[in-house]
Amino acid sequence: MTEHDENSAGWRSPKRVVGTPSPAESRYTLGQAEPPSPKTPVIEGVEPRDEGKGAERVVALCFLITFLAGIAFIVFYVMFQVGTIEKAQISNLALGGTLALALLALATGVTVWVRAIMPKYHLVQERHPLVSDEATRDEVGSTFLQGAAESGIPKRRLLRRTLLLAVAPLGLLPLVLLKDLGPLPGTVLRHTVWGKKTKEGKERRLIIEGTGNPIRAANFNSPGGILSVVPEGYEHDLNELAKSTLILIKFRPEELKAGTNKNWTVDGIVAYSKICTHVGCPTALYEQTTHHILCPCHQSTFDATDGARVIFGPAARPLPQLPLGLDAEGYLVAKGDFPVPPGPSFWERGDAEAEVRAKGGHA
Amino acid sequence: MKSITARRRHPLARYAVLFLALLLFGGGYAFLAPVGGKADASIAQGANAVDDIAEGKKIFEATCASCHGVNAEGTAMGPSLIGVGAASVDFQISTGRMPAAAPAAQMPRKAIAPVFELPLDQRKPGQPTIDTKKVAQVAAFIQSLGGGPTVPTDADVDPATGNAAKGGELFRANCIQCHNFVGSGGALTGGKHAPDLGKASAKEIYEAMITGPQAMPVFNDSVITPQEKRDMIAYILAVQNQPHPGGASLGVIGPVTEGLAAWVVGIGLLVLAAIWITAKRRQVND
């Protein structure tokens, strides 16, 4: 500690540093040298601790464990090579386990050190009101009012109004910049590729998700069958699949009820959107005994025989039905787009069902 | 005993008890939770002979007719079995679902009914106790009524000829909505559920796909080919045998159990640690 520091400490350093004993209880503040004492000084309010031999051994043991676990981490890193899933799993377990043990033992050791070896005492921390004194506040208030009066803001109406006019566009600037966040969605949410012909000008076939094969209606002939279906040419286009994935269900024709548009079915095969009309989860839990389609997210339940009418849960609309037909080779194709936008509601959707019905269509 | 009495009023004693209770329940569950066994798929094929049909009709009348009707035409208690096929009979009996113990929303997998078990003197240690001949006879009788899917051969269901990676893709497209991504099963409506596939054999999986037992839809061979079915079987058997080096799979049902473990055990431990770090030592003169 230099001479200069010692002199300046009188006015520069605060009377008491947070975390140190208050002068009332301790005679020593930070920056002052303690008198050399062979024994632990006896200070009022401070519990003198024993030399902490037992605790010292515990802390040392913890640090030793950390050391060993750290070494083990390096050893295991070399020992367990990865390459297959099973090997990576073993490597993860060994590396994660040793690292966790090392950090846990280190933290335990430090905590025991603080709790059992360092001295313990009550600390009173003084708090003062944050508010300034009366004179200062009056001074600030009168200065402000004087400045306002001198600027003439209350009187000079022209200046006041042109100033407000000047800053108004600056406040609107961020709103204009929002447009650069991306292109507007336009009508992409209303339409799917099912409504478009393929590049060859043919009607778009239904493709089994996973196998990539088109579906011959005569082969999909077991009542109670269900398939997850994607549009031909868009089997891996996730943006498109998010709205155009279908579930295809085979019924005995007599099972279908009035809610289903039978003109859009082929021999008891019905296609519904797989995207739940609630918040867009894939709803494909199909029970062939009850003909319920259940959404796994919020348990919306649809009656598959009756136009996917909602019979339970938070969904507000049935799953849209896709018009199905056959092409010349007997494969299932889409005869057009969904009559209403599939999936959950969005701002510009409006009452699409009512619009379709007003035009005499089947929603 | 004396030392426990002395320490039970220790300020940390209640947290220690809480911690021990958590440890006991968590560890106890991990220890007691059923570990997936494997049923044997090698059920011999029965010849579709006339005496088998006659023999099967006798067993059917004694065991199944009370619910399914004398001619398998169905009653208020059970559905018609005309046209369900031999594969359906083999699946339902060999998984213990039929004969049913009591009417319920869904028949659970259970031990094979005693009537379809081998007599005690014919059982071999380590071999399944199912009487494959009796099952095949009933299957032959049902098959004779109205056709339907037949029992697949061992070659039909051989997972060695399937591609597990391709099967995983198909499984994720068609099955996980009900059965979960590793086949742990899940809930359906009205008390029904999609069962855990952990105990299913290759043959049972194949039969379930072609027959659509209970609420399960049908995946017939003309849309999901036998090769694609073998791919899926290879995937399911691969995940069944997947090791869990961490020790606890937590049921592999996803965020529910994992979140519960993280919140209860993980955050519980953190809270205990925070209490330990900041706890005051009780002072005698306070």
The Cα–Cα gap between B93 and B79 comes to 15
> Is pLDDT of A34 > 60?
no
In this prediction, residues B85-110 reach a mean pLDDT of 85
Q: What are phi and psi for residue A212, nearest 5 degrees? A: 80, 10
Please tell me if residue A271 touches chain B, with a CB cutoff of 8 Å.
no
Q: Does A296 contact B172 at a Cβ distance shorter than 8 Å?
A: no
B264: DSSP letter: I
Question: Token pair for residue A66?
Answer: 């950390």
pLDDT at residue number A41: 53
Convert the pLDDT of each residue in A138-182 to its tens digit: 999 999 999 999 998 888 899 999 999 999 999 989 888 887 888
A260 to chain B, closest Cα gap in Å? 20
Task: Report the chain B residue with the minimal C-alpha distance to residue A290.
Answer: B215
Of A126, A124, A120, nearest in space to A43 by CA: A120
Nearest Cβ partner for B192 among A115, A284, A287: A287
A15 to chain B, closest Cα gap in Å? 27
B121 to chain A, closest Cα gap in Å? 41
CATH of domain A193-345: 2.102.10.10
The Cα–Cα gap between A217 and A258 comes to 22
> Is pLDDT of A92 > 70?
yes
Q: Which residues of A touch B163 (CB under 8 A)?
A: none
Q: Which residues of B touch A58 (CB under 8 A)?
A: none
Q: Does B218 contact A89 at a Cβ distance shorter than 8 Å?
A: no
In this prediction, residues B259-269 reach a mean pLDDT of 92
Q: Does B219 contact A224 at a Cβ distance shorter than 8 Å?
A: no
Q: Which residues of B touch A221 (CB under 8 A)?
A: 220, 222
A188 and A199 Cβ atoms separated by less than 8 Å: no
Q: Does A296 contact B177 at a Cβ distance shorter than 8 Å?
A: yes
Q: Does A285 contact B177 at a Cβ distance shorter than 8 Å?
A: yes
pLDDT at residue number A1: 39
A323: DSSP letter: P
Map residue A42 onto helix, strand or coil.
Answer: coil
C-alpha angle B96-B98-B104 in degrees, rounded to nearest 5: 105
Convert the pLDDT of each residue in A230-275 to its tens digit: 999 999 999 999 999 999 999 998 899 988 888 999 999 999 999 9
pLDDT at residue number B41: 34
Q: Which residues of B touch A312 (CB under 8 A)?
A: 189
DSSP A226-238: EEEEEETT-TT-H
> Is pLDDT of B284 > 80?
no
Structure confidence at residue A338 as a pLDDT band (50, 70, 90): very high
Q: Which residues of B touch A249 (CB under 8 A)?
A: 217
Domains of chain A, residue spans = 1-31, 46-124, 193-345
In this prediction, residues A51-62 reach a mean pLDDT of 86
Q: Does A86 contact B174 at a Cβ distance shorter than 8 Å?
A: no
Q: Which residues of A touch B170 (CB under 8 A)?
A: 210-211
More confident residue, B133 or A32: B133
In this prediction, residues B5-25 reach a mean pLDDT of 77
Task: Report the chain B residue with the minimal C-alpha distance to residue A227.
Answer: B174
pLDDT at residue number B26: 74
Of B54, B98, B78, nearest in space to B69 by CA: B78
The Cα–Cα gap between A147 and A154 comes to 11
Percent of chain B scoring above 90 in pLDDT: 11
The Cα–Cα gap between A67 and A64 comes to 5
Convert the pLDDT of each residue in B199-258 to its tens digit: 888 989 999 999 888 889 988 888 889 999 999 999 999 988 887 777 777 877 778 888
> Is pLDDT of A20 > 60?
no
pTM above 0.90, yes or no: no
Radius of gyration of chain B (CA): 26
The Cα–Cα gap between B12 and A353 comes to 64
pLDDT at residue number A286: 92
Please tell me if residue B191 touches chain A, with a CB cutoff of 8 Å.
no
Nearest Cβ partner for B223 among A93, A215, A299: A215
Average pLDDT, chain A: 85
Task: Report the chain A residue with the minimal C-alpha distance to residue B167.
Answer: A210
Q: Does B218 contact A286 at a Cβ distance shorter than 8 Å?
A: no
Residues 175-234 of A with CB under 8 A from B: 208-211, 213, 215-216, 219-228
Please tell me if residue B173 touches chain A, with a CB cutoff of 8 Å.
yes
pLDDT at residue number B10: 77
Nearest Cβ partner for A222 among B172, B220, B276: B220
Residues 298-317 of A with CB under 8 A from B: 299, 301, 312
Q: Does B169 contact A210 at a Cβ distance shorter than 8 Å?
A: yes
Residue A105: which residues within 8 A CB-CB, separation 6 or more?
A62, A63, A65, A66, A69
What ipTM describes this predicted complex? 0.71
Of B41, B38, B27, B82, nearest in space to B60 by CA: B82
Domains delineated in chain B: 2-33+254-278 (no CATH), 40-151 (1.10.760)
Please tell me if residue B34 touches chain A, with a CB cutoff of 8 Å.
no
Q: Which residues of A touch B172 (CB under 8 A)?
A: 210
The Cα–Cα gap between A9 and A209 comes to 78
End-to-end CA distance of chain A: 87
Please tell me if residue B248 touches chain A, with a CB cutoff of 8 Å.
no
Q: Does A211 contact B170 at a Cβ distance shorter than 8 Å?
A: yes
The widest CA-to-CA distance across chain A, in whole angstroms, is 104
